[in-house]
Amino acid sequence: MITGGTGFIGSHTAIQLIEAGHEVAVVDNLSNSSPDVIGRLHEVTGAHVSFFEADVGDRAAIGSIVAQTRPEAVIHCAALKAVGESVEQPLRYYENNVGGTARLLEVLDRHNVRNFVFSSSCTVYGDPEHLPLTEQSPTRAAANPYGWTKLMMEQVLTDLVASDPSWSVVLLRYFNPVGAHSSGRIGENPRGIPNNLMPYVAKVAAGALPYLRVFGNNYPTPDGTGIRDFVHVVDVAEGHVVALERLAGTPGRHVYNLGTGTGHSVLEVVSTFMTATGTEVPYRIEGRRAGDVAASWAGVDKVAEELGWKATMSLDQMCIDAWRWERNNHRA
């Protein structure tokens, strides 16, 4: 069962799971995604995907779905995820992300479903003192409420495992997933103006937005813009499959970074996108955005050694796939 399965990470994870021979049930409240995704999943994979429109915080609805589908494992991607919005609407983020997850876990526990893969985030590392960030790096006071919700949910899951060792919990700390499926049928489809860099760049390139807003050019980085570890969403999805297959039924709490191990600045991404796609991306420098850190990239040795997972796709490929998705699904 994938919660948030019509969203960006969830939908790509569904494809990779199906292609690896798993049956998938998708649960989503469609607050930031479209039901069209289910048809597209069938189109891409040829498989039937069970879909349930429900909120993970709705105990009755989730209980009914779990009783009906009897999942062996749950991949929990459902969450509100916009950094800026979380600063403006903290209560909504805590209620949805933390409260909803706690209620989901109660239901799963009652139904003896204790294999759980959690979509965490590099935001749990806060504003890092040392790079790269490894799984041994300390988690820090988060830079924004979104980050705090991920940190709190990790703590909830850590305490749950400590209280009941029959749980197998994998915390996957994503860095910055971007790109889209090579079919051009599944990609990142946020409602309204995107909060994340790559879909914003693609919309500017397509003429749907007039220019890219670059938040800050005075960070202590080579070109003054923020540096992030961008990782192809299909690589991230494959990380879920590997984590599930290797660790399901293995008691305890397991933590892994999913990134490339390399950082790229905002202006580097813009330049790479323009070169890879042959488009223009006008941009304007604006003030720093609340909640952003200067630089962040992953240490990826642990996930390579223990799970055999490694990101395989380049920044060029991420840009090309994001552009194909935008062209095929252009919305003004």
Which residues form the catalytic set? 146
Widest distance between CA atoms in the chain: 55
Place of tokens 């290797």: 246
DSSP single-letter state for residue 186: S
Q: DSSP 3-state assignment of 318?
A: helix
**Rounded to whole angstroms, how far apart are CA atoms 204 and 247?**
41
Here the tokens at position 185 are: 């049928």
Task: Answer whether 92's CB lies under 8 Å from 100's CB.
Answer: no
CB 229 within 8 A of CB 296: yes
* Helix (H) and strand (E) counts in the chain: 12, 13
Q: In whole angstroms, give the CA distance from residue 287 to residue 158.
A: 37
Burial 34-54 (b: 16+ CB within 10 A, else e): eeebbebbeebbebebebbeb
Identify residue 253 by its one-letter amino acid code. R
Distance CA 63, CA 254 (A): 26
Question: CA 284 to CA 48: how far, in whole Å?
Answer: 45
Residue 202 burial (CB count, 10 A): 29
Three-class SS of residue 246?
Answer: helix
Residue 78, φ and ψ in degrees, nearest 5: -65, 120
Instruction: Compute the distance between CA of residue 170 and CA of residue 118 in angstroms, rounded to an integer.
Output: 6
